[in-house]
Amino acid sequence: MPFLCLDIGSTWTKGALVAQDGELLGTAQHETTPPEVLDGIAAVTSALGDPSAEVLACSSAGGGLRLAVVGQERLVSAEAGYRVALSAGAKVVHVSAGKLDSLRPLRADRPDLVLLVGGTDGGDDTVLLHNARRLAENRLSVPIVLAGNAHARAEAVALLDGRTVVATDNVLPDVGELHPGPARRAIREVFLAHVIGGKGLSRGTRFRSLVRTVTPDAVLVGVSRLAHLLATDDDPGAVLVVDVGGATTDVYSAVSTVEETGATVALPADRRTVEGDIGMRWSAPGIAAEARAEQLVEDDSLAAAAQYRAENVDFVPSTAEESTVDTKLAALAAIIAIRRHLRMVDNRLGPRGAGLLVLSGGVFRHASEAAQEEVENALRADPVLRPILRTARIAIDRDYVLAPAGLLAEAGHTEAAARLLRGLGAG
């Protein structure tokens, strides 16, 4: 029986039909159809022609997972929580450190979930318990993942009585020791059980039962598997992926092994950052503004074109000049997003830089060979990225296989995932 791997996004529902041995049998997409996303899923299933396939699904519909981090210290526990949240496929919309006073800023950012962290195991629990008490007193209705000082866990859970709470291991059990796995899993559990069903995407329960994870988390698993497939005895298999969308640009990086460093907060082998102000349509003005701020362009000549795209999000280039502008915006979005990602994750790709850079997103999948070459040249010429990309191969995820590969790997079908990923240059 083949697998039907689905990614239900806010705009498009994409499907990949994959044989048990990992052969890609076909792909299809349909506009996502809220308030009943099952209609779009049925259209994709029909187009691929095998309703008996086992369904593996991820979703970022409804804007994905909006997460707030409440921590103890900005440079330690709050930062650890922030990095865990990003790597768990969430869009971090709020970060606070220290004792909570007013919850108005947190409420204003409309999180779907709060990640409550603070203190190392056996360390000071004052801030964690204060913040648990404040969240309880203010009757914040969103679920809470508690991943702070293990010695204060029971008391914090008791304070949060009446709230939806998932308690898990501390994200920072000791100074410099980041432990992201349990919090990631808890975030996924809460997303599936409490968040995705509350976004008005479907009238029944079938959609919730289909979706296994948030899309960026599935992609991150695919990227991690890709890094392991690329690894050799002499090369840790460093991979960078940049996914330029209409509203956001996501960057993923992974290595097969992580060297010990003296960083205040250690980093996991796979990471994700999301840039909510950079995208090809809704967030195109952010590209133009940031490119000017980082001196990637000398004037504001892109500003008007970017604003037009933001005001006309269904715009499709119809002339060579319009396509050239889209290519320029895409290249700048990728450069800016990768620069930010490297600053955030302290460039843990190793001394050789990336062995493979994968470009994802419709603007790259539909690019002409000339446009693809222009983007590659711009990336390699950037003075910040040049050391990172000096030996990197560049591939385009034309069949959108990273999310399906991640879904397959998570379900235990690692060989099928590996075959899919070999189309991107692995193995």
179-214 pLDDT per residue, tens: 888 998 899 888 877 777 777 888 888 998 899 888
Strand order in the sheet with 3-8: 24-31, 12-18, 3-8, 54-59, 211-214
Q: What is the pLDDT of residue 347?
A: 56
Report the pLDDT value the prediction gives residue 268, as an integer from 0 to 100.
57
- Residue keyed to tokens 């899993």: 185
Look at the alpha carbons of 38, 43, 45, 50 in this order and tell me if their dihedral is positive or negative: positive
Please identify which residue in the block is written with the tokens 């000398």.
298
Q: What is the DSSP letter of 379?
A: H
Asked if 72 and 119 count as a contact pair (C-beta separation under 8 A), the reply is yes
* Token reading at 209: 């039962």
Eight-state DSSP code of residue 58: E
What percent of the chain shows pLDDT beyond 70?
A: 94
> Model pTM?
0.83
- Helix, strand and coil in the chain, % to nearest 5: 40, 20, 40
Instruction: For 184, list phi and psi in degrees, rounded to 5.
Output: -55, -50
pLDDT digits (tens, 9 = 90+) for 341-374: 988 775 566 667 888 999 999 899 989 999 999 9
Helix axes 402-410, 215-230, angle to 10 degrees: 90
Q: Which residues pair with 132 in a beta bridge?
A: none
Check residue 263 and give its pLDDT: 46
> Residue 409's pLDDT is what?
96
What's the mean pLDDT in 210-229? 90
Tell me the residue type at 112.
D
Return the pLDDT at 426.
61
Rounded to the nearest integer, the mean pLDDT of the chain is: 89
User: What pLDDT sits at residue 427?
Assistant: 53
pLDDT range class, residue 265, cuts 50, 70, 90: very low
Convert the pLDDT of each residue in 105-150 to its tens digit: 999 999 999 999 999 999 999 999 999 999 999 878 899 999 999 9
Pairing of strands 12-18, 24-31: antiparallel
SS3 for 41?
Answer: helix
- Per-residue pLDDT at 260: 44
Q: What 3-state DSSP class applies to 16?
A: strand
Domains of the chain as residue ranges with CATH: 3-62+200-213 (3.30.420.40), 66-195 (3.40.50.280), 215-396 (3.30.420)
Q: Which two tokens stand for residue 410?
A: 């998570």
Rg over alpha carbons for the chain, rounded to the nearest Å, is 21
Question: What integer pLDDT is reported at residue 30 of this predicted model?
Answer: 94
222 vs 89, residue with greater confidence: 222
The phi-psi region of residue 22 (left if phi > 0; otherwise alpha if psi is between -120 and 50; otherwise beta) is: left
Length of the chain counted residue by residue:
427
How many angstroms separate the CA atoms of 256 and 268, rounded?
Answer: 10
* CB burial string 153-162: b at 16+ within 10 A, e below: beebbebbee
Q: What is the token pair recorded at 85? A: 């949240």
Under 8 Å CB-to-CB from 120, ≥6 apart: which residues?
A: 149, 170, 172, 173, 174, 175
- Rounded average pLDDT over 394-403: 94
CA triplet 338, 344, 348: central angle to 5 degrees?
Answer: 80
Give the three-class secondary structure for 204.
Answer: coil
Residues 24-51 have pLDDT tens digits of 999 999 999 989 999 999 999 999 998 8
Report pLDDT for 262.
44
Query: What is the distance between the alpha carbons of residues 70 and 332, in angstroms, rounded to a whole number?
Result: 33
φ and ψ at residue 159, rounded to 5 degrees: -65, -30
Give dist(CA 143, CA 62) in Å, integer.
17
Helix (H, G, I), strand (E, B) or coil at 49: coil
Identify the pLDDT of residue 348.
61
